[in-house]
Structure 1
Amino acid sequence: MPTPAQQVAFGRPAAVGGSFAGDRPTPPPRPLPPPPPEAVLRAFAPAESGARGLQEPPGGRPGRRRTATGPWWKADARSDPWRDPYAPAGLGGPAVYDDEAGQPGPLVVDAKGRRKLRLRDLSVRVSVLVVLAVLLVAAVGGGAGYLLTRTADETPLLAPGTQLNEVNEGVAREPGSVADIAERVTPTVVSIEVRLGEAGATGSGVVIDGENGYIVTNNHVISGADGVEGAEIRAVFFDGSGSAARIVGRDPASDIAVIKVEKPGLLTAALGSSDAVVVGDPVVAIGSPLGLASTVTSGIVSALDRPVRLSGEGSDTNAVISAVQTDAPINPGNSGGALVNGAGEVIGINTAIASLGGGSVGLGFAIPIDTARDIAEQLISTGQAVHASLGVNARSVTDGTRDGALVVNVEPDSPAAAAGIREQDVIIAVDGEPVGSSEELVVQVDAHEPGETIRIELVRGGSSTTVEATLEQA
C-alpha cells in the first residue's frame, strides 16, 4: 500500500480521468519516404507496367532447378509470396512442425536441453560425404600405423664404422668448485703402502716439501713398520709411479709422522691455516680410502676444537687432538690424507672416524694443519716432537651441573705435585678456559710450551681454588 507521500508524488491528479491529460500535444505526422532512385527501379521493378513479382532472371526464363549461375531461381519463383514485393502481409497462426520432436532440421534439442543430431534429416549427399571422410581418415591412420610399427627385417644387425654424435663444447668448471680443487690438490696426495711380511696396510699422505721429498702422514699408518726387519714403506704417487720411503720421525702423542722419498720435483701442497676455519665452510677430503687411490669426497666443517682421543689398533699412538670435525665421508685408508678448504689449501690431516659399524657414517676428524705443521717441522729438524706435561692422570666426571676432569693420579716431582694438586681434585678450568673432560684437559695443557706457567682452577672439598703450575717437557 503506497504511503501518503508516495500518493502525492506519483498518484493521478483528481481532475484527470485517464492515464494522460486531455491537453497532451498531438505528434506531427511522419513524412513519407522518398521514391526509390531510378537505378533501383530499373534493377528491381517489374519489367512491365502493372506486372507483379520479380523480374526474369538474367539470361532468360528460370530453370527447372537451382544452378550455380541462378541459385535462387526455380520454376515456381514467380508465385513465391516471399519473393513478391506486392504480396499482401497478414498475421497467421504459429509455425507447425511435421515431426514429433516439434523441431525441424537435423539438429534437435531434447527435453533436458541437449542438442543432438538427427541422422534421418541429413541429405544423401551430406551422408555420403561424411562416410567418405570417415573412410579416408581410417585409411590414412591405418597406413601411418603400419609404416611406424612394421619390422624392418632387411636392416642388418651390425653397422661397421658407426660413429655416434659428440658434443664439441667443453664443460666450464668454476674456480673453487670440487672439480677444480680436486684437479689442483690430488697430485699432492699420495697413497702409502706398508708391508710386514705377508701382511700389509694402506693409508694416505700429503707432500709438504716436494723439493726434499718430505711427506706428512699419521703415526698409526706407519708405526708398525718402525724398527721391524723386512718391513717396507712405499709411497705411490698420482701418476701411478712409486718410491720407497723412510721414516723421518713420528710422534705418538699427536699421531703425526713424516716420511721421506728420494723423488725430486714433487708437487707440494699449499698449507693453509686452521685458525681461519669456521663451522659451515665447504671442505674436500682427498686420500685412498679402502685402498682406492685419489678418492675425493666433499662436505662441510661440522664442528671445531672437538677433543678426540686416538688409539690406533696395533700402534703406539696415544693422543688427544683438538680436531676439525667434518661430514665429508672418510673411511679407513683416508688416514694421513688432506682435508682441503674452498681455496685448495690443506687445513687438516684426516685421522679418525666416528663409526658404529667400521665404515663412515658421516663424521670424520682431522688434525688441524697448524698443529700438524708444528709437529712436522720439529720431526724434520730433530726427529722428535716436544710436548708440555702437567703430570696428572684424570678421567671425566660431572655432578649434573658442572663437568670437569677428576685427578686420579699425580706423578711424583711433577708440575702438578709442585703446584699442590691432589688426587680427587676436579680441574674445571685452565687459564680461564673451561675444562669439561679429561680430553679437554690434555688439549688445554698441550696448547702450551714446556716452561710456561698456567693457572688451574679446581674444586676440592666442595670449594673452588686456583693454583699455578709450571709445565715441563713430557
Structure 2
Amino acid sequence: MGPRPLQRPAVDPAESAVFGRPSGVEGAFAATGPTLNTLRQAPPTTEALASAFGRPEGQRDTLQRPPGHGSNAPDDEDPMWSGDQNPWRDPGAGAVIGPPALDRDDDAAAKAAPGDRGRQLSLPEVLFGRRVKPSALVVLGVVALLIGAAGGIGGWLLARGGDSLTRDVTLAEAQPGKERPPGSVADIAARVRPAVVSIEVKLERGGGGFGSGVVIDGAGYIATNWHVVTLEGRADETARITALFTDGTRAEATIVGTDPKTDLAVIKVDVDNPTVLQFGNSDELQVGDAVIAIGSPLGLTDTVTEGIVSALHRPVVAGGDNGTAPITYDAIQTDAAVNQGNSGGPLVDSTGALVGINSAIRSSAGNTGSVGLGFAIPSNDARRITEALIRDGRVAHADLGANVRSVSADTAEGAQVVNVTEGGAAHSAGIVEGDVIRKVGDRQVRTAAELTVAVRANRPGDTVPVVLARQGQELTIQVTLGSD
C-alpha cells in the first residue's frame, strides 16, 4: 500500500508573506550569495593605531595566560606566581586563610647592606618627603621666627589698646527718667506716701488688727475708719493704737472721736512737722477719672495701687453686728486694688488731693481678696464729719424719723415707709406708713440705703422737698429734717 496522501491546508497569503521563505529559496536557510545583504565590517585599523596597540610583529600570544604557560614579564623579573602555588595567588584555588599574598623575601633581606638595616628617617624627610639642603632649613627657620615675632608684637599692641579703653572709660550719666514727669503716678505717690500711716491695734487680752490712715492736720490728726481703731466695736479703752510712718517713725495714738454710722474715726499722734494731705472736692469726680489708693493691704505697708472711678453715689451698707447701727454711706466705687488693710487709707486723684477714705470691698463667694470692687467714703463727707469729730468729739446726722424698706413694683420704686417715729420729722410732715419715698431734694431714691444717704447729705434742721407715692398718686411734701 502506498503512503497516505498529504493533506496540506491552504496557506493564508498574509501569513505566507510574513512567515514564508523568501522568493526563490527552496531550502531551510537562504543561500549565501551576492543576492543577500552582506554583514558590514569595521574598516581596517590604521597603521599608527596598529603600531601603538597591536601585538609585536610575529607574535600571536594573548594577554592572559594561566600559570605554567609562559610569561610576558622580562626575564630578570620574578614570575607572578610563586613556586609553591600560594592559594592567594592561584585564581583556581579554594578560598582559605593562609600566609600573606607575597612570599617573604628572605634572600633580599639577607642581601641588604648592614649599614641600611634599621635606618630611621630624618626630620626633613618626614616633613618634606625628601632630603632638604641645610641652607633651605636655615632660611625656613628664620622666616618662622620673623612671623612669630610679628604676631607677638601685634598681640601686645592690641592688648595695650584694650587696657586703655577699659581703664580710662567714663560712662555717660543717665538723665532723670522721662516716664516720671510731674503728675505721673510715681510723682503723686512720692508726694502722698509720707502722709499715709499704718495703724496697729492690740488688745490687752490678746489679739488685734491693722489698717491704714492719713494725716489731715499738722497737729497730728489722722483720719481712718471706725472699724479699724475699734476692731468693729470689740476694742475698749485699754486697746493700744500705734501709727507707723513711712520713714519708720512709730507713735502712740489716742482716739479723738468716732462715727460708727459712716465708718469714720479720728486719732491723734504727737509728732513733729508731719506731712499733711490736702482735701480735694469729691463732687467734681467723674466716672473714669484716674485715682490712686495707698495703704497697708494685708499688712504690706506703703503699697500703691492705681485705678479709675468705676461709679459714683453707690450706697454701701455694712456692719450692723453686735447690736451696732449699720454703716451706710454714699461711696465712690473704684477698681484700684483694695484689700483688707487698705481700710482708712487715702484715695487720691491725679493731682494728689484726697478724694476718698477707703473703707470696704466686695468679693465673690469664697474669696476675701480684691476683685476690682472697692468703696471709699467721699472726701466732702469725710471732711465735714472729721471736722465735727475734732471740734466736738462726735457728729450729728440728719434724720427722717421713719423706718423704711426697699420696694420695686410697676407702680412705684423706692423706699416704703414701714413705721413712723412719733414726733419725728416724717410724722411732723404728714408722712404715713405705706408711703413710698421716691426722691429727697435732688437725689433719686430707689432703695432704703439711697434714702439714708440722701437724708444725711443734708444737715439737721434743713427743710427739703420729699416726693412720695401714696395710693397711686405722687405727692411732694416739705420736710424739716431732725437729728439722730
User: Residue 434 of structure 2: SS of its match in structure 1?
Assistant: coil
> In the alignment, is residue 419 of structure 1 matched against residue 429 of structure 2?
yes
Q: Are residues 1:391 and 2:401 paired?
A: yes
Corresponding residue SS for 1:378: helix
Number of equivalences: 310
Cα deviations by residue, 1:72-117 (Å, 9 ceiling, x for unpaired): xxxxxxxxxxxxxxxxxxxxxxxxxxxxxxxxxxxxxxxxxxxxxx
Q: Is the 8 A contact 1:285 1:337 kept in 2?
A: yes
> Which one-letter code corresponds to 1:419 in the other structure?
A
C-alpha contact 2:320 2:327 (8 A) present in aligned 1: no
Give per-residue Cα distances to partners, 1:326-381, cap 9 Å, x unaligned.
11010011010010111111110001111111111001111111110111111101
292, 300, 303: which is aligned to 1:295?
303
Query: C-alpha offsets along residues 95-153 of structure 1, whole Å, 9 cap, x if unaligned?
Result: xxxxxxxxxxxxxxxxxxxxxxxxxxxxxxxxxxxxxxxxxxxxxxxxxxxxxxxxxxx
TM-score scaled by length of structure 1: 0.63
Residue of structure 1 equivalent to 2:15: none
- The residue that corresponds to 2:440 in the other structure is 430
Residues 1:382 and 2:392 are matched in the alignment: yes
Structure 1 match to 2:257 = 249
Would you say 1:199 and 2:207 are equivalent positions? yes
Question: Does 306-315 or 284-293 show the bigger shift?
Answer: 306-315
Q: Name the counterpart of 1:364.
A: 374
Alpha-carbon distance in structure 1 between the residues aligned to 2:392 and 2:271: 22
The answer to whether the 8 Å contact 1:271/1:369 transfers is yes
Can you give the 5+ residue segments of structure 2 that lack an aligned partner in the other structure?
Answer: 1-169
Q: Aligned ranges for residues 17-36 of structure 1 at < 5 Å?
A: none
Identify which of 168, 171, 178 aligns with 2:177.
Answer: 171
| Regions of 4+ moved over 3 Å | 165-168, 224-227, 312-317
1:113-124 mapped onto 2 (5 Å cutoff) = none
- C-alpha change, 1:343 and 1:312, in structure 2 (3 Å) is farther
Equivalent residue number for residue 312 of structure 2 = 304
AA paired with 1:189?
Answer: V
1:237 aligns with 2:225: no
Matched AA of 2:460: P
What is residue 26 of structure 1 aligned with on the other side? none
Per the alignment, do residues 260 and 239 of structure 1 end up closer, same or farther by CA in structure 2, a change over 3 Å counting?
same
Measure the CA separation in 2 of the matches of 1:312 and 1:286. 27
Aligned match of 1:272: 280
Distance in 2, Cα, partners of 1:414 & 1:307:
24
Q: Note if contact 1:273-1:347 (Cα within 8 Å) is conserved in structure 2.
A: yes
Residue 166 to residue 348, structure 1, CA distance change in 2 (3 Å): farther
Measured in 2, the distance between the counterparts of 1:227 and 1:322 equals 26
Distance 1:349 1:467, change over 3 A: same
What TM-score, normalized by structure 2, do the two folds share? 0.61
2:344 to 312, 323, 336: 336
Residue aligning to 1:103: none
In 2, Cα distance between the equivalents of 1:323 and 1:166? 53
Which of these residues, 186, 193, 200, is aligned with residue 193 of structure 2?
186
Match 1:443 to one of 437, 453, 467? 453
CA distance in 1, matches of 2:444, 2:269: 43
Mapped to 1, the partners of 2:198 and 2:421 lie a distance apart of 41
SS in 1 for 2:216: strand
Displacement of 1:466: 2.2
Whole-Å Cα distance in 2 between the matches of residues 460 and 360 of structure 1? 42
Counterpart of 1:209 in 2: which secondary structure? coil
Measured in 1, the distance between the counterparts of 2:296 and 2:349 equals 18
Q: How far is 1:273 from its partner?
A: 1.0
Following superposition, the deviation at residue 263 of structure 1 comes to: 1.0
Counterparts of 2:323 and 2:224 in 1: how far apart (Å)? Answer: 14
| 1:349 aligned to which of 344, 349, 357 | 357
- Counterpart amino acid of residue 177 in structure 2: V
User: CA 1:316–1:175 in 2, change beyond 3 Å: closer, same or farther?
Assistant: farther
* C-alpha distance 235-176 of structure 1, shift in aligned 2 (>3 A): same
Q: CA deviation at 1:316?
A: 3.9
1:213 corresponds in structure 2 to 220
Q: Is structure 2 residue 462 aligned with structure 1 residue 456?
A: no
Q: Please state how far the C-alpha of 1:433 moved relative to its aligned partner.
A: 3.1
Q: Return closer, same or farther for 1:315/1:409 CA change in 2, 3 Å cut-off.
A: closer
Q: Distance in 1 between matches of 2:350 and 2:461?
A: 38
What is the identity, as a one-letter code, of the residue corresponding to 1:171? Answer: G
* Match in the other structure for 2:137: none
Q: Find the residue that maps to 2:187 and give its secondary structure.
A: helix
Report deviation, 1:315. 9.0
Between the aligned partners of 1:166 and 1:437, the Cα distance in structure 2 is: 66
1:293 and 1:166, CA in 2 relative to 1: closer, same or farther beyond 3 A? farther
Q: 2:419 aligned with 1:409, yes or no?
A: yes
SS at match of 1:377: helix
Whether the 8 Å CA contact 2:345–2:358 is kept in 1: the answer is yes
1:278 partner SS: coil
Contact 2:280–2:353 under 8 Å retained in 1: yes
